[in-house]
């Protein structure tokens, strides 16, 4: 009976070591996944900011043509002189 108990304890020890090795491997994998997840979240935040900035940015105003620009400048000068 003594030998049977020692055999069971030895088997238990062997299985515990196998589980320990598996847990260590999973820890490494999860560490890498968590690291990648953080970078994905940062990229997502940056992408959302860019989308918001593009939506908030007003449309560029078109400049008037030269003839129109000249008349606008003359009107401004006349208003200043008056």
Q: Measured in whole angstroms, how far is the alpha carbon of residue 70 from the centre of its chain?
A: 49
pLDDT at 49: 81
Element (H, E) at 58: none
Q: What is the C-alpha to C-alpha distance for residues 49 and 5, in angstroms, rounded to an integer? A: 64
Please list, in sequence order, all residues whose beta carbon lies within 8 angstroms of the beta carbon of residue 58, skipping any fewer than 6 positions away: none
Radius of gyration of the chain (CA): 37
pTM exceeding 0.85: no
Q: What is the C-alpha to C-alpha distance for residues 51 and 43, in angstroms, rounded to an integer? A: 12
**How do residues 27-63 score in pLDDT, each as one tens digit?**
988 888 877 877 888 888 888 888 777 776 665 566 5
């Amino acid at each position: 009976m003594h030998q049977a108990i020692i055999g069971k304890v030895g088997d238990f020890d062997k299985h515990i070591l196998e589980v320990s090795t598996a847990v260590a491997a999973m820890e490494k994998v999860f560490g890498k996944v968590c690291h990648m997840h953080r970078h994905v979240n940062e990229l997502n935040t940056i992408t959302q900011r860019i989308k918001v900035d593009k939506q908030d940015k007003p449309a560029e105003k078109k400049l008037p043509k030269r003839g129109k620009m000249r008349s606008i400048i003359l009107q401004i000068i006349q208003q200043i002189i008056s």
